[in-house]
Structure 1
Amino acid sequence: MMLGWCGATSSSGAAEIDFNRDIRPILAENCFYCHGQDPNKREADLRLDDREAATAKGAIVPGDAATSLLIERIHATDPDVQMPPPTSNRKLSDAQKQLLKDWITQGARYQKHWAYEPPIRPAAPEVTGRDWVRTPIDQFVLARLEQEKLAPSPEASRATLIRRLSIDLTGLPPSPEEVQQFVDDNDPLAYEKLVDRLLASPHYGERMALAWLDAARYADSNGFQQDGDTWQWMWRDNLAALLNRDLPFDEFTKWQLAGDLIPDATTEQKIASGFNRNHLLNGEGGAIAEEQRFVILFDRVDTTATTWLGLTMACAQCHDHKYDPITQVDYYSLMDGFNHLPESGTPQRFSSRIRVAPPLMELPTEENLAYIAKIEAEIATIEKEMAPSLALVFEGWRLGITADNSAADLAGLAEDLATIARKEEKDRSDNEKQKLAAGLQKYFDEKVRSQLAAKLDGLPKIDGLRKQIADYRADQIPRVMIMSDERARQTSVLSRGEYLSPTEPVSFNTPAFLPPLPSDAPKNRLGFAQWLFLPDHPLTARVQVNRMWQHFFGTGIVKTSEDFGVQSEYPLHGPLLDWLAVEFRENGWSVKKMHRLIVTSATYRQASRVTPELKSRDIENRLFARSSRFRMPSLVLRDWALRASGLLDTRVGGKPVYPYQPDGIWESLAITKERDFTYPASSGSDLYRRSLYTFWRRTVGPANMFDASNRQACRVRAVPTSTPLHALTTLNDPTWAEAARVLAERTIAASGNLEEQLSIAFARVVSRQPTPSELSLLRRAYDKQQAIFAADPAAATASLQVGSAPRNQSLDAVQHASLASVCLAIMNLDEALTRE
């Protein structure tokens, strides 16, 4: 059912007023907190979120605004009766008051919130500019533009398009050769072929994983003061692999939420369930384990609801939601699906560095197995050499304790073995003889050998090697945290969310205001994951395609991508959102197909230039009359600089690395001698891995990733920031300084002509050739730097010492430093930092 997405608004009352678009936002912002569904906060026993309740109290008299108490109160001047109360710091505008009056006059028709109605595919609207349209997306966008009497922007240049696609689909710059090849390609399907190549790249999954890491609050440590390290990087690698594979989103969801519950679950599926084990773990001395277990539980519910439902359910932990129809019973019934892990709430210490919490999967890498095999081979060699001497010691001991069956020294030996040992040899059966021999050998090895054979050469070394293996296993064998339902627990509603105050018991169920859980569905997380993809589910598909749009346009069709509830933004392009949701569902839940659909649209391919008219009428680009323009995320900026310089190590997957960070960055954590918090800086190619693989300490995040989530809570909408920290990082951080130095060296090797060198460097960073005027500016910048360094050659030499990559010492230091300074300036151009 369509919900009046494009209806006109009028304060005269002549046009139909749409409740969802025009009235609900006013009531939600100003009235529902005190007059909503939460009975604990409801004033005057009045509800305005429900038509029957509002009319029963006379607050609203449909068709008669003059006698409606709501209209009387919002126009009152007496602060004791005025609504909203002056103390609420809320105030209705004259236009809002008129809308409410006209709405009541028209009959005060209510609607179910638009996001809670199942999406039905609307017909693509007819448009005048049909030649511009490439996909149905464009018909919806153009129809709205024509309604607003606006025209779409021209298509961006090919150089801009390949750069834009590379940023959005892989996060890595195209080479100048790839740019030129695309620019010169006359194939009518050249663009589509480029899209398909980038979608097939192994770097696609790495790029798309970034948003999922923020949603999953992924980090490589627990958080809190102890901040023990984890092995959750195995989940991160699994995530990127599934995104590359384009596992259908319904299956992907089952794996993330309930991979462990899938019949005959594979290792891959169990690892995927680690999505909900990426939470903080509090191992502090004063932490109460059961309290922390509930903190983790609440976090799981909130993270899952935000990620898949686009709902903020945290309010219902303590009381019925004040705005959305989510009750406390709904909250705790859903929480029951996450309440059966065999977990204590606190981490288990495996080594001074590692602290993780069961349930776990131990997954040794080939490197781990090779190392252990090497040490075990050393032990075997020593034991072989010692075997004759050790056998004599053992035999002497064995004869000694069994020589007199009535007085044998059998202390500590298992009773069944002691009983056999007390028998005479002739009275022991063959089975008893074998059992006794094995038992005595084991007892000797564990309890006696170290005492009787301590002086034998090699034995202390064997014990040291075995301890070495034990320590290595504890510190180096990955044990990824996964989900499990092995612990039966009763879930109850908690009074005010207090874990020590259970009230009524509940069992697993989904929120009552949404489609019911099918009777034959499992009453657990797997059933929940299946329920998300019911044909009439209103949220799952909408929420996901909105985030896809957010990825490619900077802002979702619904700006509040984390909240599709009553307080969410009413979408300007509601029909497009519904069309995309149905398309996603009916296309087999293929994310790559949806990404391809979006990036091949004429809407996506527009230039990003802001005209004076668009600046005055739609500065945020909510009508999509142009392509969006926004600064690249810091994680992508770092990768871009490394790739442009040629330093980037493009290996896919693997354990975290430790690239450049400020000196002593972790020292504030070392308040005890229990653990060394020295930053273990990487070396060699590990310094140049993609940002995705940087070790993420929750308490002290990577300093050069200035706009990233702190990974302590679920985040699905990035908030752009503009602080001096950005420029300080990209101008001074060792990564950028070294990348500029290496880029300069690379361009010097490619050409002996300065202007060609400047053009090469510019093209590698910005993905196009500089214009003559730009080249002139770059030449002037070079000349200025050369004059500075020629006057101070020592400064030139010093500037080239940043970073671990070796420098070609045969290059003139002044020339190299001057060009490196210009390369750094290129990397800091607005165009270089911006996705256009």
Structure 2
Amino acid sequence: MPQAVSVESLERHCLSRFLRCALWVLLGSLSPQLQAAEDVPAAAPSLTFEEHIRPILKAHCWQCHGAEAEIKANLDVRLRRTLAAGGDTGPALTPGNRDESLLYQYLASGEMPPGDKKLAPDQIEQIGRWIDAGAPTRRPEPASADGLSQITEEDREFWSYQPPLPVPVPEVSDPAWRGHPIDRFLEARRESADLHAVAPASATALARRLYFDLWGLPPTPQQSGALAADASPRAYSALVDQLLASPRFGERFARHWLDIVRYGESFTLRGLILRDAWRYRDYVIESFNADRPYDQFLREQIAGDLLPAVRLEDRRRQLVATAFWAFGNANLEEQDKRQLDMDVVDEQLDVFGKALLGQTIGCARCHDHKFDPIPTRDYYALAGILSSTQRLEHANVSDWVEVPLPLSSDEESAFVRQEATLAELAARVQAKKVEVDQLALAAGASVGDSLAASALPGIVIDERDAKQVGAWTPSTSVKPYIGAGYLHDGDQGKGEKTLTFAPQLAADGRYEVRLAYSPGDNRSDRVPVTVFSADGEKSTFIDMQRPPPIERRFVSLGEYRFEAAGQSFVLVANVGTHGHVTADAVQFLPQSEVSTSPAAKPDEAASAASRQLAQRQSELKLLEKELKDRRAAAPQRPTALSIVERKEIADAPIHLRGSVHTLGATVPRGFLQVVAHAPLSPLPANQSGRLELANWVASRDNPLTARVFVNRVWHWLFGQGLVRTVDNFGTTGELPSHPKLLDHLAIYFVEHDWSVKQLVRYIVLSKSYQLSTATTDANLTADPENRLCWRANRKRLEAECLRDAMLAISGELDLASGGNTLRPSVANDYGYVHDDSRRSVYVPVLRNSLPELFEVFDFPDPSLVVGARTTSTVAPQALFLLNHPFVRKRAQAAAVRLLGAQLADDQARIGHAFQQSLGRAASAAELPIAQETVAAASQSPAVAERAWADLYQLLFASVEFRYSNW
């Protein structure tokens, strides 16, 4: 275990870097009550160069006057000593007098730094105060500025890099708050600030809050009424246990997690669909429902494929979990594959750092992190691990890695039998193709290797006379052919190449049009050929894998009418083809010459072969259809979106300024040094190091992992985290409002076997969670942002909760769990229609086609880590609820359901609608409005449905409906 430090030491050093000092300046402007709070230091620490000044200069000045470029004006700002020595314009520092210090003069005037990297006024003032104080350093400076990017004990003293500390639960004076440890931590802070918590929420309001927080669904009037009838602590605790035991809990908390890991089921470019992504979504839901320990949950996602497994279902789960690494949006068409691989690694490190550790690791790709103790070498130590892990299979358009999921012996036997059946049928199809090809040869006249175009009847346009678009390749590899050879597209430039065969017709008339091509196994089986004639254009597809049936040279494209002065040509294209496209010649045969064509006068053997050919072709079509149908109906071997170890494991070189083409020193694979409180062992040479990375992240000794997650849970339940920057526990993030409580929760979480359900239960059983949203003037003045938790925050429902709530109230919500919800026939995600009634967590997250409700109500960008969603208030939200067909249909269905219920009268129906939608009865002011809305309901059933639908839509459009606690 790393050595613990005292609480006093933690608080003494928690503001040690310049940004923490800047936050202290900000705190100094707050009310006296908050300044006196338990966890805030009583006085700002003295300013030193290492802690407070160098980070500012590093962020704004080092690029020109530090380690990252040639030092301009001979001024090196990396050490206090070199500042005093100065540069071309003299000493930059006069200790004790800011006004005589060139450093302060240039910064205060705005002359430096150039561009948009100006310092903030409080930063300039901080530098001025440091100079006036004599420009002190914390310790003697090194002889050289080299090596300043190394991690020091000073860096590790930042609060989030220190291990969580067990501290006594504080005593409080109010007996009502002496029960739950969470309440004692919060009440102690409130007492020190002379703040008083508001009253508890009503039972119905609390039921609505709890159901939305743990299920993401509104309680029914019966469920709200049950808690109102018995609001005792025992009944409330029993309700919490009931909600945690439901499958709805996993669906709710899984959606939170999917925000963090940028879960998406398609790529924006081309709209390519990740058809196995849903397995990871179901894995996350199942993990929360099973209360899988969070450390195991992380290990499976980071290195599930490398973990041992005894049971088959464990192995499947572990493989599916590794899709964590695979959801990043990428440009699969990038032709610089080294760049693509590194962009993938960069995206993976960004997600890994923010989601699991609350660290902005990606900022160190091109240079040392400007603010946090994450040097570039740490970035590439981690990058080496992920570079030794394969996510993509490269081609012109790269593909993602999919791995087969293991099967039971019975399942494997069934698949073997199925594959044998399909293989036998495929062999019969192939044999029939050979028979058809042989008959096609017998049905034609004997031909030589080549034939001059002039020797053929009609008008023949050889390939050399065709108009070419794109680069076509001449060839004589396959015989026979007409003229000097034929052309092929090289199986490249699909959609970019065409050949136009245009005859010079002497007279109007009807012509049979024939295409000569070179067949072969590597040819396209679906080549688009279009004939332009006097009657318009007609397209057909030619299978160039089969020999041409006429004289082994031609295939007939049909008979057409042409006008000598009109459009007459044949267009061969390679758009949409797979395999080589060939073209040899096009023959325009006048109708009068068709009967005299050699192909029209076969000998007796050829005639018999032709009859057999027709029969065999019919048999082949039936066999091909049977094979196609059986393949379509046969279950597919299950696969998972995943990653695999590369065959070659290697450390990564530093990419100078982030360029994959400018490489520096190679860095051994490893982890973040600032979190390593003991020397790290070298990673195995024959593995990527992901397994060791997983164990490092999920270790009880890692000071970040538990803190970051319990803070996320607090954010999900309270509406804001104890650290509000939930994805950033670095120096640019906010300080925790209650650092001791955060540590208490982290320790509780780990000691309770990393149980998410235990943690949630622990938090929601606190009295602080159960407070109302009421306000008082005194509290608002002292703590307007409710950082001391004296009331419950109003939390707007996420887009998914809004959708699910309307579906639940209308009676249309489909509560089926799991499974693939993507329509199988969809090739890409453009224009996808979301029309099912499953819970929103099962709605496909297609990056180009999200449901409109999601887009209007701040659904997170599925390509980014989003630990805290944006909550906007814009006009389109109200317009959507008032006008969108989705909302109106739900209101109509709710009205039909209400009218079918056994309720005494309209008064009872109004009360039921309000309880369903808002979790409370209608107020005295609202009741007359509701009665007026449904006043015409007695006229007819149709009018009644419309009137009650209007009431439901008014409720759906209300501001209160959009909040879980109003």
Q: What is the TM-score when the length of structure 2 is the normalising length?
A: 0.67
The CA deviation at 1:150 is 0.4
3-state SS, counterpart of residue 653 of structure 2: strand
Q: Is the 8 A contact 2:391 2:644 kept in 1?
A: no
Note closer, same or farther for the CA distance 1:233–1:256 as it changes in structure 2 (3 Å cut).
same
Q: 1:577 aligns with which of 730, 742, 746?
A: 742
Matches within 5 A, 1:495-506: 495-506=656-667
- Quote the Cα distance in structure 1 between the aligned partners of 2:48 and 2:192: 19
Q: Does 1:274 align with 2:439?
A: no
Equivalent residues of 1:118, 1:537 under 8 A apart: yes
Q: The residue matched to 2:384 in structure 1 has which SS?
A: helix
- Distance in 1 (alpha carbons) for counterparts of 2:613 and 2:742: 79
Contact kept, 8 Å, 1:363 with 1:477, in 2: the verdict is: no
State the percentage of identical aligned residues: 28
Match of 1:747 among 882, 887, 898: 898
Query: Does 2:461 align with 1:296?
Result: no
Equivalent position SS for 1:492: strand
Q: Distance in 1 between matches of 2:352 and 2:957?
A: 38
The secondary structure found in structure 2 opposite 1:504 is: strand
Q: Which amino acid aligns with 1:92?
A: P
Structure 1 residue ranges without an equivalent (≥5): 48-52, 60-64, 350-354, 398-445, 660-665, 667-673, 791-810
1:233 aligns to 2:278 (yes or no):
yes
Matched, 1:92 2:121: yes
State how far apart, in whole Å, the 2-side matches of 1:633 and 1:322 are: 34
Equivalent positions of 1:67-78 (< 5 A) are 67-68=95-96, 76=104
Which of 909, 915, 918 aligns to 1:766? It is 918
Do the aligned partners of 1:740 and 1:823 also contact (CA within 8 Å) in 2? yes
Q: Residue 457 and residue 658 in structure 1: after superposition, are their counterparts in 2 closer, same or farther (change >3 A)?
A: closer
Letter in structure 2 aligned against 1:731: L
Using the alignment, how far apart are the partners of 2:413 and 2:891 within structure 1?
A: 39
**2: CA distance between counterparts of 1:586 and 1:345?**
42
Aligned to 1:738: 889
Pick the structure with more strand per residue. 2
Does the 8 A contact of 2:77 with 2:83 survive in 1? Answer: yes
Residue 516 of structure 2 corresponds to: none
**Distance (whole Å) between structure 2 residues aligned to residue 215 and residue 487 of structure 1:** 30
Corresponding residue of 2:955 = 826
Tell whether the 8 Å contact from 2:258 to 2:281 is kept in structure 1 after alignment: yes
* Counterpart residue number, 1:527: 692
- The structure with the larger Rg is 2
Aligned counterparts, 1:590-669, within 5 A: 590-657=755-822
Mapped partners of 1:780, 1:24: distance in 2: 71
The 5 A counterparts of 1:29-108 are 30-34=56-60, 39-40=67-68, 44-47=75-78, 53-54=79-80, 67-68=95-96, 76=104, 88-93=117-122, 97=126, 100=129
Contact 1:258-1:483 within 8 A present in 2 as well? no
CA distance in 2, matches of 1:182, 1:658: 41
Structure 1 residues 360 and 206, CA, compared in 2 at 3 Å: closer, same or farther? same
SS at match of 2:645: coil
The CA deviation string for residues 647-689 of structure 1, in whole angstroms up to 9 with x for no partner, is 1000111112579xxxxxx9xxxxxxx9676746466xxx110
**Superposed displacement of residue 83, structure 1:** 9.4
Structure 2 residue aligned with 1:815, among 944, 947, 965?
Answer: 944
C-alpha distance in structure 1 between counterparts of 2:743 and 2:829, whole Å: 50
Structure 1: which amino acid aligns with 2:244?
A: L
Q: Give the corresponding residue for 1:417.
A: none
* Cα-to-partner distance string for 1:243-294 (whole Å, 9 max, x where unaligned): 111111111100011101102471111111111111224333x643332222
Indicate yes or no: 2:621 matched with 1:460: yes
Q: Is this contact kept in 1: 2:371–2:731, CA < 8 A?
A: yes
TM superposition shift of 1:505: 1.8
Aligned to 1:511: 672
Q: 2:265 aligned with 1:216, yes or no?
A: no
Residues 155/658 of structure 1: CA separation in 2 closer, same or farther (3 Å cut): farther
Relative to structure 2, which stretch is displaced further, 67-76 or 577-586? 67-76
Q: 2:303 aligns with which of 258, 261, 270?
A: 258
| Equivalent residue in structure 1 for 2:389, among 338, 341, 344 | 341
Structure 2 counterpart of 1:764, which letter?
Q
The CA deviation at 1:729 is 2.6
What CA deviation, in whole Å up to 9, does each residue of 1:747-777 have, x standing for no partner?
A: 1112362221111111111122223332223
Give the Cα–Cα distance (whole angstroms) in 2 for the partners of residues 488 and 84 of structure 1. Answer: 48
- Pair 34,186 (structure 1): closer, same or farther in 2 beyond 3 Å: closer
1:402 is aligned to none
Provide the C-alpha distance between the structure 2 equivalents of 1:181 and 1:224, rounded to a whole number of angstroms: 51
Q: Output one character per residue of 1:45-82: Cα deviation in whole Å (capped at 9) or x when no partner.
A: 334xxxxx5478569xxxxx993477965995566877
Per-residue deviation, 1:177: 0.9
Question: What is the Cα deviation at residue 160 of structure 1?
Answer: 0.9
AA aligned opposite 1:486: R
CA displacement 1:625-665 (0-9 Å, x = unmatched): 10111211111111111112211000111112579xxxxxx
Alignment CA distance shift 1:698-1:19 (3 Å): farther
Within 1, Cα distance between the matches of 2:805 and 2:864? 27
- Unaligned runs of at least 5 residues, structure 2: 1-5, 16-23, 86-92, 139-153, 440-544, 548-611
Structure 2 CA distance for partners of 1:641 and 1:56, relative to 1, 3 Å: same
Q: Which is worse superposed, 705-714 or 315-324?
A: 705-714
Q: Deviations over 1:434-468 (max 9, x none)?
A: xxxxxxxxxxxx999xx999729755323223234
Q: Which residue of 2 aligns with 1:404?
A: none
Say whether residues 1:481 and 2:641 are aligned partners: yes
Higher mean C-alpha displacement, 123-132 vs 28-37: 28-37
CA contact (8 A) 1:32 1:322 kept: yes
Structure-1 separation of matches of 2:301 and 2:791? 36
* 8 Å Cα contact 1:260/1:484 also seen in 2: yes
**Residue 631 of structure 1 aligns to which amino acid in structure 2?**
R
Shift of 1:376: 8.9
Q: In the aligned structure 1, how far is the partner of 2:774 from the partner of 2:52?
A: 34
* Contact persistence 1:120–1:578 (CA under 8 A): yes
Distance 1:70 1:162, change over 3 A: farther
Q: Is the 8 A contact 1:653 1:693 kept in 2?
A: yes
Deviates more, 1:99-108 or 1:584-593: 99-108
Q: 1:123 to 1:100 in 2, by over 3 A?
A: farther
- Confirm or deny that 1:780 pairs with 2:907: no
Q: Are the aligned partners of 1:250 and 1:589 in contact in 2 as well (CA < 8 Å)? A: yes
Distance 1:138 1:187, change over 3 A: closer
Query: Aligned partners of 1:573, 1:71: CA distance in 2, in Å?
Result: 40
Residue identity matched to 1:779: Q
- Partners in 1 of 2:181 and 2:759 — Cα distance? 12
1:166 aligns with 2:211: yes
* Aligned equivalent of 1:699: 848
Cα distance 1:125–1:376, how it changes in 2: closer, same or farther (>3 A)? closer
Matched, 1:145 2:171: no
Q: 1:154 Cα deviation (Å)?
A: 1.1
**Structure 2 Cα separation of the partners of residues 84 and 778 of structure 1:** 64
SS of the residue corresponding to residue 11 of structure 2 reads coil
Tell whether the 8 Å contact from 2:95 to 2:135 is kept in structure 1 after alignment. Answer: no
The change in CA–CA distance for 1:716 and 1:104 in structure 2 (over 3 A counts) is farther
* Matches of 1:541 and 1:319, distance apart in 2: 29
Partners of 2:378 and 2:670 within 8 A in 1: yes
- Is the Cα contact below 8 Å between 1:229 and 1:356 reproduced in 2? no
**What residue in structure 1 maps to residue 11 of structure 2?**
4
Q: Calculate the aligned-residue CA RMSD, in Å.
A: 4.5
Superposition deviation, residue 738 in structure 1: 1.4
Indicate if the aligned counterparts of 2:47 and 2:136 stay in contact, CA closer than 8 A: no
505 and 79 in structure 1: CA distance in 2 versus 1, 3 angstrom threshold: closer
Q: Aligned-pair distance for 1:305?
A: 0.7
Q: Contact (CA 8 Å) 2:293, 2:753: kept in 1 or not?
A: yes
Distance 1:650 1:327 in 2: 48
Paired letter, 1:611: T
